[in-house]
Amino acid sequence: MNSLFENINEKIFLPAITWCLETFMEAFIASLNVLQTEVGKTPIEFSATLVSSLRAISTSVIMPVAGLILTYIFCYELINMLLEKNNMAEFEMFNLYKAIFKIFLAILLVTNCFDITLAFFDVGQSLVAGVTSTTITVSMADITEQMITQAEANIGMGLIYLLLSAIIMIVGWVAVGLIYLVAWGRMITILIYISVAPIPFATLMNRDWIGHIGQNYLKNLCALAIQGFLMMICMLIYGGLVSSIEPIILSSGAMVGIVLILVSMFVCVKSLMSCLNLAKSIFGVS
């Protein structure tokens, strides 16, 4: 009976423990490497075909709406200009020329807004390129070796470590999913912002409440552009954090090592998910 349990421990539990730990860490590190690649891409590098389709949709669907907004703003500005000078008694042609010049600038911005928004992310890419990519490596060999050594001597410990390894792998896959969600969610948000660019750009020349739409839109564009830079900073910090906990793992045992790795993983994912809010706070997005 003892030999049966020993065989189960040796041929099932121990290999399963090793597989769970190695698979979970390999998947997590791979997701971080994918993230570093994705945040350095502009929308055109992500999918030139998709950007071309969005440009066509923006031109044919969103641009007419922007034209209506421009017409409303011009009429609004013109009426205010006429009324504020004592019911046209002190009307100056200079004000009319100024209004025409403003609407000309607005039309120029709206007709080129797609390229302008793409330029924001070219700047963001240059910021990301200025951050040195870090090769993140987290070795589970020492933790796995300590677990296997303890599990070989006691089948009960083998079963406990197997269950623990399975839980760790599930948690790791959740973290991997969140990282991919952050990477692709950011790009999807960028593409959506680009596609509706004519509407907020059409409001930029207005001084009243509607003008804040365009200003807030530009702030959000800046936040999305700098988000990739902040995420790369998070990667650098995580790489340094992992390097600092390796000596602690070696001296404190498998259980402490697992706790430290899970905590550092949680900190990394939480920081990545907070980058957009941090970027918005930097630019004062309301």
Q: How far apart are CA 120 and CA 228, in angstroms?
A: 12
Residue carrying structure tokens 């650098």: 236
Distance CA 180, CA 145 (A): 30
pLDDT at 189: 93
What is d(CA 282, CA 90) in angstroms, rounded to the nearest whole number?
Answer: 44
Q: In Å, what is the CA distance from 252 to each residue of 137, 240, 260, 266? A: 20, 19, 10, 20
pLDDT: is 184 or 150 the higher one?
184
Residue 176 CA: distances (Å) to CA of 30, 120, 229: 9, 28, 20
Task: State the pTM of this model.
Answer: 0.82
Q: What is the pLDDT of residue 85?
A: 60
The answer to whether residue 230 is domain-embedded is yes
What share of the chain has pLDDT > 70, as a percent?
80
Amino acid identity of residue 58, one-letter, is S
Q: What values do phi and psi take at 283, rounded to 5?
A: -95, 5
pLDDT digit string (tens) for 36-58?
Answer: 888 888 899 888 999 999 999 99
CA distance 66 to 203: 8
| pLDDT for position 264 | 83
Q: What is the mean pLDDT of residues 10-18?
A: 69
Q: Name the E strands within 154-264.
A: none
The answer, yes or no, to whether residue 173 has pLDDT greater than 50, is: yes
Does residue 82 lie in a domain region?
A: no
Q: Which residue has the higher pLDDT, 55 or 136?
A: 55
Residue 146 has pLDDT above 70, yes or no: no
Which domain range does residue 146 map to?
2-63+113-282
The pLDDT, as a whole number, for residue 36 is 83
pLDDT given for residue 4 in this prediction? 54
pLDDT score, position 138: 62
Considering the domain boundaries, does residue 91 fall inside one?
Answer: no
pLDDT digits 0-9 by tens, 221-280: 999 999 999 998 888 888 778 777 777 766 766 777 778 888 888 888 899 999 999 999
The pLDDT assigned to 134 comes to: 60
When pLDDT is cut at 50, 70 and 90, the band that residue 1 belongs to is: very low
- Averaged confidence pLDDT in the chain: 81
Helices (H), 196-210: 198-202
pLDDT at 187: 92
- Cβ neighbors of 82 (< 8 A, separation 6 or more) are 88, 91
If you count them, how many residues does the chain have?
A: 286
Instruction: Report the C-alpha gap between 197 and 204 in whole angstroms.
Output: 11
Q: Are 159 and 29 in contact (CB under 8 A)?
A: no
Q: Is residue 9's pLDDT more than 70? A: no
User: What region, left, alpha or beta, does residue 137 occupy, with left being phi > 0 and alpha being psi -120 to 50 degrees?
Assistant: beta
Residue 22 resides in a domain = yes
pLDDT > 80? residue 196: yes
- Inside any domain, residue 154: yes
Q: Is 160 part of a structural domain of the chain?
A: yes
Buried b (16+ CB within 10 A) or exposed e, 128-146: beebeebebebebeebbeb
Number of H helices and E strands in the chain, helices first, is: 12, 0
Closest to 105 in 3D by CA, of 195, 214, 196, 208 = 214
Structural domain includes residue 99? no
Q: What is the pLDDT of residues 147-164, one digit of tens each?
A: 666 656 666 666 777 788
Residues 156 and 13 sit within 8 Å (Cβ to Cβ): no
DSSP labels, 238-255:
HHHHHHHHHHHHHHH-HH
pLDDT of 202 over the 50 cut: yes
Query: What is the band of 285 on the pLDDT scale with cuts at 50, 70, 90?
Result: confident
Q: Which residues, in sequence order, are CB contacts of 233 under 8 Å at separation 6+?
A: 131
Question: Does residue 12 lie in a domain region?
Answer: yes
Could you tell me which residue, 278 or 21, shows the higher pLDDT? 278
- How many independent structural domains does the chain possess? 1
- Residues 76-80 have a mean pLDDT of 78
Distance in angstroms (rounded) separating the CA atoms of residues 205 and 78: 13
Identify whether the C-beta of residue 99 lies closer than 8 Å to the C-beta of residue 175. no
